[in-house]
Structure 1
C-alpha cells in the first residue's frame, strides 16, 4: 500500500507546466499552419500537378486530419511525461531532457539561420510568427530542463522509495 502522495517541489511543478505550455504553444502554431488551407492546396498542387481538384481536396483533408491526430498525440505524450517527471520518475526526466535538448538545439539553429541571413539565402521563408514561436518554445524548454536539474534530490528520493518497495 502506497503512502501519502507528497506534492512535488515548486521548481519541479513549474518545470512540469513549462513542458506542457511548450507543447501547447507548438501545437497552436501547428494548428494555425493546418488551417491555412490555401497554402496546403497550393503545396499539394505544386507537388502533384496532375491531380484533379477532388483529389487535392481529399489529400488536404486527410493531411489535416492526420496532422490533428499527431498534434494531439504529442501534447498528450508531453503532458504524461511531464506528470511522470513531477512524480519523481527519473526516466521521464531523461526523456524530457533528450526531447527538450533537441528542441532547444533546433530552435537555436533556426534563430541563428534567420539572424545570419543563411535561411533567406537558401530560400527558406521564416515569418515573424514562426520566429516568435521558435523563440518562446526554445526558452520554455531550456528553462524546464534547468529547473528539472535544480531539484535532483526529488528524483533520488523517489528512486530510493521505488527500490525500497521492491520485494527481495
Structure 2
C-alpha cells in the first residue's frame, strides 16, 4: 500500500514552527524558574514553617523533578500536535486553536493587569522577564492561529482524502 505524501503549504509550516517555538520559550522560562532554588526553598519555608530543612529540600527536589517531567511532556505534546496539524489533521488544528486561544487570552489578561497597575495593587509582582515571555508567547500563539486558518484548503483536502479512502 503506497503512502500518500501531503505537501505542506508554507504558511502551515510556519505555523507549525511558531507553535514549537512558543512551547520552547514557555518551557525555557518555566525551567529557569524551577532552578531558582533559593526562591523555591524560601516559598516552601514560608508555607510550611514547621518543616525541617531536610523535608524542605526533599520537597523542592521532588517538585523540580515533577516540573521537569511536566515541561517535557508539554513540549512533546505541542510538537506532536503541530506536526499532526501540518499533515492536514483538522482535529489537531482545533486543539491548537483552543490551547492557543486560552494562551492568548491569558497573556492579554496578564499584560493588561500589569499595564493598568491592577497586578501591583493586588500585590502580584511581575518580573520583566516574565512579562517579556508572556508578550512573546502571546504573539507567537496568535500568529500561529491566524496562519493555520489562512490555508483552510490544506485541511479540506485532508478530510476529502480521509473520507474517500477505504477503511480497514
Query: Would you call these one fold, judging by a TM-score over 0.5?
Result: yes
TM class, shorter-length:
over 0.9
Aligned residue in 1 for 2:21:
21
Aligned residue in 2 for 1:79:
79
Aligned residue in 1 for 2:158:
158
The offset of 1:3, in angstroms, is: 4.0
Aligned residue in 1 for 2:143:
143
The offset of 1:67, in angstroms, is: 0.1
Q: How does 1:20-59 map to 2 (within 5 A)?
A: 20-59=20-59
CA distance in 2, matches of 1:54, 1:4: 58
TM-score of the superposition, structure 1-length normalised? 0.98
Instruction: Please give the per-residue CA displacement for 1:41-98, whole angstroms capped at 9, x wherever unaligned.
Output: 0010011111000000000000000000000000000000000000000000000000
For the residue of structure 2 that corresponds to 1:6, the secondary structure is coil
CA distance in 1, matches of 2:40, 2:148: 39
Q: Which moved more, 1:97-106 or 1:1-10?
A: 1-10
Root-mean-square deviation (Å): 1.1
CA distance in 2, matches of 1:69, 1:153: 37
CA distance in 2, matches of 1:2, 1:91: 24
For the residue of structure 2 that corresponds to 1:42, the secondary structure is helix
Count residues in correspondence. 168
Aligned residue in 2 for 1:66:
66
Q: Which moved more, 1:4-13 or 1:47-56?
A: 4-13
TM-score of the superposition, structure 2-length normalised? 0.98
Alignment gaps of 5+ in structure 2: none
Q: Which runs of 4+ in 1 moved over 4 A?
A: none
CA distance in 1, matches of 2:3, 2:45: 60
